[in-house]
Structure 1
C-alpha cells in the first residue's frame, strides 16, 4: 500500500537524497554529468527543500510504502502561481494554473503504482487550491514519462527551453484541466 502525505521539514534530508537519485533519470542521454551534479548541488540540498517547504507557493507530497515514517518511494513538487517563462505563458496562460515541477519515483519503485498515486493526490490538491489547469515540462526525449503523463490526462500544448549547466535542454509543455473545489 502506498501512502501519500504532505512533506514536512523532517523529510528534507530524505527528499535531498531521493532527488539526487531520481533527477539524473529525467535527463536526456548525453547530458554532461557535471551539469547534472551542479544542478543537484544547487537545487536539491536539504536546506533548499526546507526552503521550498516553508514557501506557501510550494506543495510537496511524499509517497511511502505503508503507514509511518518508512523510506520515501517518491515525491511531487507543485508550484502555485503565474508562470514566469514566456514560452509557458504562451502555452498555458497566466491562471489560475499550477506547475507540477517534479514527479520523481525511486527506480526500485517503478511500475508499482507510486507515480499514479502521487499524481492523483497532486491533482486533487491543485484543484483544492483553486487552479483550473495543471502544467509541467518534460524532456522531449523522456518517452516513458511522456506516456505516463498522457495516461494521466496531459496533452502537449507547447515547448520551452532552458539551460542545464552549459547545455540547452528542450521540454514539451504538457497541460490538463483540473477539477476545482467548489
Structure 2
C-alpha cells in the first residue's frame, strides 16, 4: 500500500461519500442490530439528500483517507451550531470516523483522529469530543488509549432502538 493521504471533500465527492458512509456503518453495526433499524437509519441519516445538506453546512467538514484513488475511510467534524450537542464555540465534535473493514488495523483511524486533533488545535478549540456506542468496546479502547475520557452519555436512536452513547472528550 502506498502513501495514505487525508483530503477535505466537497459536493463533487457526494456519491463516494454516500457509498463509504453506508458501507462502513453497515460493516460496523449490522451484526448487532436489527436489519429494519439499520435500513431506517441508512435511509434517513446516510441518504444522498442528508449527506448533501451536511456537506453544504459551513460548520461541518468531511475528509477521506485515500490510497491513490481508493477510499479507505472517512471523517466528519462539526463546530459551532452544527455540533449534535455541547454547542460550545470552543469545541470540535468528531461525529464520525469510519474505516472500511478490510483496512482496519492499518492505523487509518489513528491517522483520521490525529487529523481531527490537528484541525481542532488550529481552530484553537479548548477540547474535542465525540459519542461512542457503549457496546463498541474496540472504539472505546481506541479513544481511551488516545487520551479521551468519558464525561457524560446520551441517547442514540437507531431505527426504533434507543441506544446509549458514551460522550468522551479530550482537552487540548
Contact 1:133–1:176, Cα closer than 8 Å, also in 2? yes
Residues 5-16 of structure 1 aligned to structure 2 (within 5 Å): 5-16=7-18
Residue 28 of structure 1 deviates from its aligned partner by 8.0
Indicate yes or no: 2:171 matched with 1:177: yes
Residue 30 of structure 1 deviates from its aligned partner by 3.8
Q: Give the length in aligned residue pairs.
A: 169
> Any gaps of 5 or more consecutive residues in structure 2?
none
> Any gaps of 5 or more consecutive residues in structure 1?
none
Contact 1:27–1:139, Cα closer than 8 Å, also in 2? no
Q: Distance in 1 between matches of 2:146 and 2:71?
A: 22
Q: Distance in 2 between matches of 1:81 and 1:26?
A: 28
Contact 2:147–2:170, Cα closer than 8 Å, also in 1? yes
Contact 1:135–1:174, Cα closer than 8 Å, also in 2? yes
Q: Distance in 1 between matches of 2:171 and 2:24?
A: 27
Contact 1:23–1:104, Cα closer than 8 Å, also in 2? yes
Residue 25 of structure 1 deviates from its aligned partner by 4.0
Classify the secondary structure of the residue corresponding to 1:27.
Answer: helix
Contact 1:39–1:164, Cα closer than 8 Å, also in 2? yes
Classify the secondary structure of the residue corresponding to 1:145.
Answer: helix
Residue 129 of structure 1 deviates from its aligned partner by 2.0
Q: Distance in 2 between matches of 1:28 and 1:146?
A: 18
Q: Distance in 2 between matches of 1:153 and 1:143?
A: 15
Residue 46 of structure 1 deviates from its aligned partner by 2.9
Residue 102 of structure 1 deviates from its aligned partner by 0.1
Task: Report the counterpart of residue 47 of structure 2 in structure 1.
Answer: 45
Scaled by the length of structure 1, what TM-score is found? 0.85
Task: Report the counterpart of residue 81 of structure 1 in structure 2.
Answer: 80
Scaled by the length of structure 2, what TM-score is found? 0.89
Task: Report the counterpart of residue 22 of structure 2 in structure 1.
Answer: 20
Task: Report the counterpart of residue 105 of structure 1 in structure 2.
Answer: 99
Q: Distance in 2 between matches of 1:126 and 1:177?
A: 10
Classify the secondary structure of the residue corresponding to 1:37.
Answer: helix
Residue 95 of structure 1 deviates from its aligned partner by 4.0
Residue 50 of structure 1 deviates from its aligned partner by 2.4
Q: Distance in 2 between matches of 1:102 and 1:16?
A: 13
1:92-149 Cα distance to aligned partner (Å, 9 max, x none): x834111100000000110111111111111111222232111100011001111111
Contact 1:64–1:71, Cα closer than 8 Å, also in 2? yes
